[in-house]
Structure 1
Amino acid sequence: MSAPAPQPAALPVGTTVGALVASGAQCLADAGVSFGHGTTNAHDEAAWLVLWRLGLPLDSDLSDAPGSLKDQPVAPADQALVAALFAERITSRKPAAYLTREAWLQGVPFYVDERAIVPRSFIAELLVDGGVDEFLSDRTQQVLDLCTGNGSLAVLAAMAWPEVQVTGADISPDALAVAQINVARHGLQDRIRLQLSDGLGALPGPWDLILCNPPYVNATSMAALPAEYRAEPELALAGGTDGMDFVRRLFAQAPACMSEGAVMVLEIGNERAHFEAAFAELPVFWLDTSAGEDQVLLVTREALAAYARLTAQ
């Protein structure tokens, strides 16, 4: 029989928001849960869960400063609700975003559930901070977010460039149903269309910009993923033996679907070594993100077309 999941310790009447966060963080740490779906540590995740469960703003001040919510008392009934949420997080090993049905990317809220992976792409930073603008032009009008998942990058692209039309595409009808919720949530139905497609199969373009956060996790890493990641759709993560199966097919299809001067922004996470081994002759630009310069790359249509000719010889 497995041991019962650790739960926040019983706290006396008069327990505060700050005490619940501290208790919850200790519980998460003791249980050995994994993070990476919006938070990176036990304290931040505990704060997220406590504030969400109590209906308080997620950016609430929990410092020791006067006026902070840290010392606000919590009624016993609400303490019990918080404890139940922590117990569910620990026993289910689901990412917190699946429990709250919300994830934030670059300060923008998105609905999410188990039909799509929790949004966390570093491409989002580049959209908000203008990290790819220098590669675009006035001709950039048609933008494709391939492997759109819950539609977060499509929404952020439409927000970043009000003059463009965006298509969000995915092989999963379930993921597209989640994306539709987010397109409607942000009132972008007139500028974002959603398309079911296996790769570029139903997306002839021509596209001026392709954004893609594809399945890229290699087989060895897939086998070692924590339970929180295994709770997500495998289809959105598994990239084959070296993680590059989808990318190979994408690069073969892309030149015919891109306009002259078009570029592709591709996230490959921690797979740079596998990427460079698979595409040694392909010149790319590595883009700077908060995780460094080896997570996201940009490649031009011209480079992809030249690479296709080279490998066909």
Structure 2
Amino acid sequence: MSHTDMNFQQHASQAIDELRTVQDMIRWAVSRMSEAQLFYGHGTDNPWDDALQLVTHALSLPWNLAEEWRHSRLTRCEREAVINVLEARIENHVPTPYITGIAWFCGQPYSVDERVLIPRSPIAELIEERFADYWQANQDPTRILDLCTGSGCIGIACALTYPEAEVELLDISFDALEVAEENIHNHQVEDRVIALHSDLFASASGRYDIIVSNPPYVDEDDMACLPEEFLHEPELALAAGQDGLDLVRIMLAQAREYLTDDGIFVLEVGNSWPALRAAYPELPFSWPEFKRGGHGVCVLHARDLERLAESALTQ
């Protein structure tokens, strides 16, 4: 039997018997991941970083452990613990953050599980830059809305960036809101951040300086060919009709009503951005470029949405 013909369980049994150090387990995991042709895009983009996170998680060690620690010998029980963690990733294609229970966004850890999307939005760069070029630098926003919040990472990151701002997190999924509540507590922002059940803007109140949203935007074609890893994420948070704009159309029609006169609407539409531009040729979308990669995020000012708001009122 050739090395590549062996199944995971055979590899695993051999690894438990023969491998000895943390580094051995990481190297072995990279080999098995490469053979399994996994998809990376939930916090890492290569098997080495993925394996490092999983192995250190199984051993209750920091992922950035010192070099000398990598040569530490493992007990048999520890090797078995590593194998059990790797099995879910390699055999079942479960994304790593669902296994570790943690995803990082804007440099902070957030609790995640299969009730919410794994944070990966390029909107993180805009938050870190305090929405430079779009929001006025000499005045911090006082009210921020995170629409379709999921884990709450975007809204909470905004709250951490603007310590005086009040932030509302809205989502139609009660399951997602439970995760968001956990993250509100973990980041100790209960005094300024609230999570509410809402069908889009239904529970919104008053006006906001910044509305930011990473809504479902995957179109039918992309949904039909998603890598297996994405199938572990809630379909409710991904699928958005034939062109990916089912919810976006409603949001654009209503957003002006909830924005202050100087407010901005930050919207992620991913691969559906050509459909959005084609559907709204009259809107002056601004499309930020991201240093760390990513695309499909647009910014609109309140004044840009006036015409759509007026049209919605007459329909």
Give the TM-score, by structure 1 length: 0.91
Q: What amino acid sits opposite 2:117 in the alignment?
A: I
Is the alpha carbon distance of 1:19 and 1:292 closer, same or farther for their aligned partners in structure 2, counting shifts above 3 Å? Answer: closer
1:147 deviates by 0.8
Residues 165-211 of structure 1: per-residue CA shift (max 9 Å, x gap) = 00011010100000000000011100101111111122143111101
The aligned residue for residue 51 of structure 1 is: 56
Aligned to 1:273: 274
What is aligned with 2:43?
Answer: 38
Query: Which secondary structure state, in structure 2, belongs to the residue aligned with residue 288 of structure 1?
Result: coil
Higher helix share: 2
TM-score by length of 2: 0.91
Matched-pair identity in %: 35
Q: How does 1:149-160 map to 2 (within 5 A)?
A: 149-160=150-161
Q: Name the SS for the 2:202 alignment partner.
A: coil
Cα distance between partner residues in 1 of 2:141 and 2:53: 38
Match of residue 3 from structure 2: none
Residue of structure 1 in register with 2:75 after alignment: 75
Partner of 1:219: 220
Question: Would you say 1:302 and 2:307 are equivalent positions?
Answer: no
CA deviations on 1:94-150 (whole Å, 9 max, x unpaired) are: 211111111111321111111111111111121123344752363721100111101
- Report 1:63-102 matches (<5 A): 67-102=67-102
Q: Structure 2: where are the runs of 5+ without partners?
A: 1-5
Equivalenced residues, count? 306
CA distance in 2, matches of 1:89, 1:139: 42
Q: Return the offset for 1:41.
A: 1.1
Q: How do 1:1-313 residues align onto structure 2 when only pairs under 5 Å count?
A: 4-5=7-8, 7-8=11-12, 9-10=14-15, 12=17, 15-61=20-66, 67-132=67-132, 134-136=134-136, 138=139, 140-290=141-291, 292=293, 294-309=295-310
* Contact preservation (8 Å) 2:156, 2:184: yes
Change (3 A) 1:205 1:196: same
- Could you list the runs of 4 or more consecutive aligned residues of structure 1 that deviate by over 3 angstroms after TM superposition? 3-9, 11-14, 131-134, 290-294, 307-313
Give the Å deviation of 1:290. 3.3
Cα RMSD for the two superposed structures: 2.1
Residue pair 2:119, 2:153 contacting (<8 A) in 1 also: yes
Query: Contact (CA 8 Å) 2:141, 2:162: kept in 1 or not?
Result: no
The 3 A distance-change label for structure 1 pair 231 and 289 is same
The alpha-carbon distance between structure 1 residues 156 and 198, as it changes in their structure 2 partners (threshold 3 A), is: same
- 1-side partners of 2:218 and 2:21: how far apart? 41
